């Protein structure tokens, strides 16, 4: 890989955008390499969760590579390479966590928002400044930000290009935790480990029901929940979870 590095610690795979000289800006190569790793890990049973982060101490991902913006045209916009990759991350069957170790702007924040969980280091700043360049957040920003922080805040952030501090992002619900920089990696890993200690089918179906239910009316969402729960009642995971609870021992789920 030219622009990213990967590592595997136990069942937690980490993808690090490795372009610190340009604050880990996203390029076509970065997107392609992330997609290739996701391909490889999707059916790899040794990888249970995926963490995204950036190299260096200044940036998670500063955004799209502006040097390539001049070449973007109608065809490139309709191809929506970044949007499609982030859609895939959002729908990825394994839990995803964004560990924001620095600036997260534009496409960088959109990458983080496509993940299931976001944790940020103290001092991290984030925003969607695309309007300053005469364009919009085009990789899911207008939609995911609205769902995370509400319409009013999303409109204000996008139209003014306002940059949030980590504390503001936590109050808005954009990130779930803000921790000292030196604790960021451990926090992301601990979060992943906690998820991986739960029933794997419950985790996968829980993510699916939450994602799909968020865009449905409540009755449809409740139906999805009911069907998922009914399915889980028939699984070995449910039997093991209940048996472990009654025996006051840790559950040993299949595939873990």
Could you give the residue numbers annotated as active site? 110, 130
For residue 52, CA distances in Å to 6, 88, 138, 178 come to 10, 14, 20, 16
Instruction: State the number of CA atoms in the 13 A half-sphere of 11 facing the CB.
Output: 21
What is the rounded distance in angstroms from the CA atom of residue 180 to the CA atom of residue 183?
A: 5
Find all residues with CB under 8 Å of 25, minimum gap 6, and list them: 19, 61, 62, 63, 64, 65, 66
Token pair belonging to 7: 């590592």
Report strand pairing: 59-61 vs 103-105: parallel
Instruction: Give the CA distances from residue 127 to residues 9, 73, 186, 202, 224, in Å, rounded to whole numbers and listed in that order.
Output: 30, 24, 25, 33, 33
């Amino acid at each position: 890989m030219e622009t990213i590095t990967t590592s595997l610690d136990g069942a937690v795979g980490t993808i690090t955008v490795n372009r610190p000289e340009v604050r880990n800006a996203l390029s076509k190569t970065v997107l392609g390499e992330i997609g290739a790793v996701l391909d490889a890990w999707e059916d790899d049973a040794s990888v249970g969760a995926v963490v995204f982060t950036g190299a260096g101490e200044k940036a998670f991902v500063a955004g799209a590579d502006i040097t390539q913006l001049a070449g973007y045209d109608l065809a490139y916009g309709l191809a929506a390479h970044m949007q499609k990759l982030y859609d895939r991350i959002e729908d990825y069957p394994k839990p995803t966590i964004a560990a924001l170790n620095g600036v997260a702007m534009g496409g960088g924040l959109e990458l983080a928002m496509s993940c299931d969980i976001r944790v940020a280091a103290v001092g991290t700043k984030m925003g969607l400044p695309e309007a300053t360049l005469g364009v919009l957040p085009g990789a899911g920003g207008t939609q995911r930000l609205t769902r995370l922080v509400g319409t009013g805040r999303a409109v204000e952030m996008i139209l003014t290009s306002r940059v949030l501090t980590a504390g503001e992002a936590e109050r808005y619900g954009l990130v779930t935790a803000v921790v000292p920089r030196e604790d960021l990696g451990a926090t992301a890993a601990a979060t992943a480990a906690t998820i991986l200690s739960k029933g794997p089918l419950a985790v996968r179906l829980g993510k699916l029901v939450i994602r799909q239910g968020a865009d449905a009316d409540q009755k449809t969402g409740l139906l999805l929940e009911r069907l998922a729960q009914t399915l889980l009642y028939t699984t070995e995971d449910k039997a093991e979870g209940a048996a472990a609870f009654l025996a006051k021992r840790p559950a040993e789920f299949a595939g873990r």
